[in-house]
Amino acid sequence: MRRIRPRRSPAIALLIAVWAGAAGVVWLWWSNTPAIADDKGRILNAGRITGLLAGYLMALVVLQMARVPALERRVGSDRVARWHAMSGRYMLCLVLAHIGLTMYGYALQANTGVVEQTIDSVKTLPDMGKAAIGTGLLLFIGLISVGGLRKRIPYDTWYHIHLLTYVSVYLSFWHQLSTGNDFAVEPAATTAWYALYGAVTALVIWYRVITPVRLNLRHRMQVEEVVEEAPGIVSVLISGKRLHRIGAEPGQFFRWRFMAPGMRLSSHPYSLSAAPRPGLLRITVKALGDHSTALKGLKRGTRVWAEGPYGALTASRRSQGKVLLMAGGVGITPMRALFETLPAERGDLTLLYRANSTQDLALWDELSAIADERGARLMYAVNSPDGERPDINPETLRQKLPDIDDHDVFLCGPPGFAEGAYTALRGAGVPARRIHHESFEL
């Protein structure tokens, strides 16, 4: 068995750095906190530390939205998205705790009501009006991002509202320095805070504005052809200048914006379904919503605006000589690109494709040709004529691949399929570190 050294993810190092930064924030608070004898002081100091930690997390939340290549391509877009969601929840909890504790502490000192004290603080303290607006925006964004409500909001609406996070953080930033006692007594802390937010701002401007503009001006992409692959599934061929120099790898995805009527304001993530060529990229998309359904009507010559490449579901993650690719539905798109390009000896590469019916096996002719050329194994699992779903479990996997525990597994598909397949793989003896999965529902 040939063992391959995978490219290491910087996730652990980044998490250590994040916790070290949080420890620094706590140290700043502790070093500026005298011994407090009464409850009013304790409440106000609890408000201070929750505010400092909330401000620190605000910077991290924005950083996780900046699409920094080291995060998107090495850590993985789905993991960064989970970090972003988790950081956002903690940040909102800290913001609410900061407001409640601080206003309650001030109200005790002034012997007045909490609501009256809050209104007075917003009116009289420097930059508190802007902070109040920023906090309101944060709470609104957090509310619409709750699972049940989020699913009821059109993706484009949610996406554009989510961008208001930048505005809310900007409005909330200034009161941290103008009303924060820690920054008033520690000039070095003020400098560090400006450096933190300044660096994050620079990364956002560079990677979310300048880099996409440079990419699209340099490569000038447009629709070359639209091909129907299966019922409700189309491939869009995109031409441009020197596209192989973008640096995209099989398994990665871009965010695509098509300059067609009704689509200019929509930006959606779609994976490459073939290896990049010098003048051609290809995506394959299933009609699941308004944007994906409209792709079949694209005309040749339609201008394309792309951001990327993103994603860590690439050959660099493998550690074994043998590889199993598992695809569910339109999750075949990155798997098809990997099936074509992933280095493997004859017999060491297997693709298992799950679909509702044989008619839904998009790109099947291409996959069959690749399998024949490479000496790879190609299998599919579809529903029976009466609609019964095939059972992908540890026993069936071991039956198909007796040495499955010696494989790396690349997995892509709808959440239900991915969760079931992951459970079956673990039951079949595949270590978690060798199951590589990335969700592109970002």
Nearest 5°: phi and psi at 22? -65, -40
At residue 154, does pLDDT exceed 90?
Answer: no
pLDDT of residue 260: 94
pLDDT of residue 8: 66
Burial of 122-160, coded b for 16+ CB within 10 Å and e otherwise, reads: eeeeebbebbbebbebbeebbeebeeeeeeeeebbebbe
**Mean pLDDT to the nearest integer, 302-325:** 91
Architecture of domain 220-310: Beta Barrel (2.40)
For residues 108 and 220, give the distance between their C-alpha atoms in angstroms, rounded to a whole number.
62
Report the CATH fold assignment for 11-215.
Answer: Four Helix Bundle (Hemerythrin (Met), subunit A) (1.20.120)
pLDDT of residue 7: 61
30-84 confidence digits (pLDDT tens):
998 887 768 888 999 999 999 999 999 999 999 999 999 888 888 888 888 889 9
Ranges 30-39, 301-310, 431-440, most confident: 301-310
For residues 290 and 300, give the distance between their C-alpha atoms in angstroms, rounded to a whole number.
20
> DSSP state, 3?
B
Give the three-class secondary structure for 148. helix
At residue 290, does pLDDT exceed 60?
Answer: yes
Q: pTM of the entire structure?
A: 0.84
**Mean pLDDT to the nearest integer, 187-192:** 92
At residue 217, does pLDDT exceed 80?
Answer: yes
Q: What is the CATH number of domain 315-437?
A: 3.40.50.80
pLDDT of residue 98: 96
**Mean pLDDT to the nearest integer, 260-267:** 89
pLDDT of residue 287: 86
| Residue 278: both structure tokens together | 């010098």
Q: Where are the alpha helices (DSSP H) in 5-76?
A: 11-31, 39-63, 69
pLDDT of residue 45: 93
Count Cβ atoms below 10 Å from residue 225 Cβ, excluding itself: 13
Cα angle for residues 34, 35, 37 (degrees, 5° grid): 130
4-37 confidence digits (pLDDT tens):
555 666 788 899 999 999 999 999 999 988 877 6
Mean pLDDT of the chain: 90
pLDDT of residue 1: 41
Instruction: Give the pLDDT band of residue 354 (cuts 50, 70, 90).
Output: very high
User: Above pLDDT 90, what percent of the chain?
Assistant: 66
Residue ranges per structural domain of the chain = 11-215, 220-310, 315-437
At residue 163, does pLDDT exceed 70?
Answer: yes
Biggest alpha carbon–alpha carbon distance for the chain? 82
Instruction: Give the pLDDT band of residue 442 (cuts 50, 70, 90).
Output: very low
For residues 17 and 189, give the distance between their C-alpha atoms in angstroms, rounded to a whole number.
18
**Mean pLDDT to the nearest integer, 319-348:** 92
Instruction: Name residue 238's beta-bridge partners.
Output: 223, 281
pLDDT of residue 360: 86
**Mean pLDDT to the nearest integer, 170-184:** 90
> DSSP state, 266?
-
Q: What is the sign of the dihedral through the CA atoms of 13, 15, 21 and 27?
A: negative
